[in-house]
Chains A and B, each alone.
Chain A
């Protein structure tokens, strides 16, 4: 079956490693946090403040703030906008993202 990478004939450089809650996942150069997580088959990475319900990408363009994630100890980053670098530490976020 055709993949989006094949469709666009993309030939990115070698994948690099980042972590999600300490677990290693691979990311391609140019991918955002959200794109790398989707590639790894992960669709939810936040628990809401009220009911701790799972959330992930919704608007995909930085408007809805549903995909918030903690990136390198910085909470409330929009995963759909945040670029990734080798060694980045992504953490799923629960509640406000601050230790409270």
Chain B
């Protein structure tokens, strides 16, 4: 860490992501004397969980689509206070594509901003806190590329931010706790939700009584959703799956069927349900690209973090879904701990072993609960066998399941990377974010996060000039351009 005067030259922490984890981290660090730049891709803080209607829609009741809105109101108020006091700068609509260690020992965070996201922006900081969240996984099935088939989180995001739905009828399907708020949200917004199709058996949850008993809030939340589903007359089909989506130019109907214990569809249970929207999801995957590029160790699909939410790279913290998917409440606890740890260490006062007992207890409890959910909400058994050879698996490069199977059976591919080289699966715009788990599953390989040097597509011109001024006068560092006098490279 560089020598700085107190106040305007206080240590500088770049927090990437303004969802629950990033907000909690930014607030905790700023309250303890650290300067924070909070970078986020969206115009408003909140992330996916607290996504709110665009300001110009002037929604007077944004909380109608949310749970725990009061928590967000508190976070947002705290953020505004820190911004007004000059302790936090909120870099809105900053799409971070890379973070790297700078020659002086700090870090440079590279983002794209401006109309069309074509303008480079760099932020220099003494430490980085990754709160990059995650994205939804959808396993393929025949017809899943039809317009009208959207991810469960996507249907929710369009509803929360744009106050729009695609048509007046929907089926919500897949597996996991996210399906509940998606179904109840769509129903409250006037959509006829014709079925909630869950492949798991949530009836197995009560057997995990101890972890559940420690979570009265979570039980109340579950009961609330159950009540709303009843009120909106949403039919809940557990241990069922969507077998196929039908339509030519867009979705017209889905076929759902019951699953037996072995993951096969039960004969005679298939039924066709007409719907304009199918909102489907099979859980979430952490965003690990920035962490991976910084050299942080991953543990399975997530960023490894210690008790203080530190990664194994000095100066880099991580919190929230990127360290393992566990929901907004867990993200808040992890973010709070990460922000406090970062502040303490940046200010030269390493925290003791029991520095934040309450947050640590909350984190432990919520992790135990999340482990219970993970054990129940597993991918629909037998999903791979229901993917026909003609089904497109890689949506970007239009690679079919048949091509992936042929690369394994006929060409001898034994890992996902070889499958990719032989078929182009995972080489398109989304860089495998949508298809990687499915490609691995169909190829019979274990899923491991892909290594992507950059977290987002970057114009070549931006890439060519990136870091030209690193360690120099910071003329391109945007902190100066915004005239707030808190140039990250000042005095460097």
Q: Do A and B form a real pair?
A: yes
User: Which residues of chain A have a CB within 8 Å of any CB of chain B?
Assistant: 1-13, 28-32, 34-35, 38-39, 43-44, 48-51, 53-66, 68, 74, 77, 80
Name 16 A/B residue pairs within 8 A (Cβ), A-sorted.
Answer: A1-B190, A4-B65, A7-B163, A8-B57, A8-B65, A10-B57, A11-B58, A38-B162, A44-B147, A54-B146, A58-B149, A58-B395, A60-B153, A60-B156, A65-B396, A80-B157
What separation, in Å, do the CA atoms of A31 and B146 have in the docked complex?
23
B121-177 at interface with A (beta carbon < 8 Å): 135-136, 145-151, 153-159, 161-168
CB of B270 to closest CB in A, whole Å:
25
Asked whether, in the complex, the Cβ of B163 is within 8 Å of the Cβ of A10, the reply is yes
- The residues of B that contact A34 with a CB separation of less than 8 Å are 158, 162
Question: Which of chain A's residues has its CB closest to B55's CB?
Answer: A30
| B positions within 8 Å CB-CB of A | 41, 48, 53-62, 64-65, 116, 135-136, 145-151, 153-159, 161-168, 188-190, 249-250, 276, 392, 395-398, 428-430, 433-434
Given contacts A34-B162, A43-B148, A43-B250, contact A57 B154 (CB under 8 A): yes
Partner of B151, one of A1, A29, A58, A77: A58
State in angstroms the CA–CA spacing of A65 and B394 once bound together.
12
- B279 CB, min distance to chain A CBs, angstroms: 10
Does the CB pair B145–A53 fall under 8 Å? yes
Q: B428 near A4 (CB under 8 angstroms)?
A: no
Most buried by B among A48, A63, A74: A63
Asked if A12 and B57 sit within 8 Å, CB to CB, the answer is yes
How far is the CB of B170 from the nearest CB of chain A, in Å? 13
Contact indicator B395/A4 (Cβ below 8 Å): no
- Residues from chain A with a CB closer than 8 A to the CB of B430 are 63-65
Give B149's nearest chain A residue, CB to CB: A58
B190 touches A10 (CB 8 A): no
Chain A residues, CB < 8 A from B136: 59
What's the least CB distance linking B87 to chain A, in Å? 29
Chain B residues near A30 (CB, 8 Å)?
Answer: 53-58, 162
> B148: nearest residue on chain A (CB-CB)?
A43
In the complex formed, the residue of B with least CB distance to A53 is B145
Q: Top 6 closest A-B pairs, CB basis?
A: A60-B154, A35-B162, A30-B56, A30-B54, A65-B429, A44-B147
B150 and A58 within 8 A (CB): yes
Instruction: Assess A44 versus B250: contact at CB under 8 Å? Given A9-B61, A30-B57, A63-B430.
Output: yes
Given the complex of chains A and B, what is the CA–CA distance between A4 and B189 in angstroms?
5
Q: Which residues of B contact A57 (CB under 8 A)?
A: 147, 150, 154, 158, 166
Q: Bound complex: CA of A77 vs CA of B136, how far in Å?
A: 21
Task: Return chain B residues, CB-CB under 8 Å to A77.
Answer: 116
Shortest beta-carbon distance from A44 to chain B in Å: 4
Contact, CB under 8 Å: A55 / B145: yes
Q: Are A5 and B429 in contact (CB under 8 A)?
A: no
> In whole angstroms, how far apart are the Cα atoms of A4 and B147 in the complex?
21
| A7 in contact with B56 (CB, 8 Å) | no
Q: Could you tell me if B151 and A59 are in contact, using CB atoms closer than 8 angstroms? A: yes
**In the docked arrangement, what's the CA distance between A12 and B53, Å?**
11
Chain A residues in 8 Å Cβ range of B59? 8-10
The residue on B at minimum CB distance from A35 is B162
Knowing that A10-B53, A49-B398, A65-B396 touch, tell me 9 more A-B residue pairs with CB under 8 angstroms: A8-B62, A38-B162, A38-B164, A43-B167, A50-B398, A55-B147, A58-B151, A59-B154, A60-B153
A11-B55 Cα distance, complex, nearest whole Å: 11
Least Cβ–Cβ distance between B424 and chain A, in angstroms: 10
Chain A residues with CB below 8 A from B153, complex form: 59-61
Nearest neighbor of B165 in chain A, beta-carbon distance: A4
- From residue B288, how far is it (CB to closest CB) to chain A in Å? 13
**Bound Cα distance from A2 to B165, whole angstroms:** 12
Q: Which residues of B contact A13 (CB under 8 A)?
A: 56, 58
A60 cross-chain contacts in B, Cβ below 8 A: 150-151, 153-158
Instruction: Give A48 to B54 CA distance when docked, in angstroms.
Output: 30
Chain B min CB distance to A56 (Å): 4
- B347 to chain A minimum Cβ distance, whole angstroms, is 35
Among A9, A12, A39, A44, which residue has its beta carbon within 8 angstroms of that of B249?
A: A44
Q: How far is the CA of A57 from the CA of B158 in the complex (A)?
A: 9
Q: Is the beta-carbon distance between A35 and B398 smaller than 8 angstroms?
A: no
Q: Please measure, in the bound complex, the distance between the C-alpha atom of A28 and the C-alpha atom of B161, giving whole angstroms.
A: 12
Q: A1-B168, A35-B164, A39-B164 are in contact. Are A7 and B60 (CB under 8 A)?
A: no
Closest A residue to B66 by CB, please name it.
Answer: A8
CB distance A54 to B41 under 8 Å?
A: no
Instruction: Give A96 to B64 CA distance when docked, in angstroms.
Output: 40
Cα A63 to Cα B396 in complex, Å, equals: 12
Asked whether B64 lies within 8 Å of A8 as measured between CB atoms, the reply is yes
Question: Which residues of the partner chain A approach B57 to less than 8 Å between Cβ atoms?
Answer: 5, 8, 10, 12, 28-31
CA A35 to CA B159, docked complex, whole Å = 9
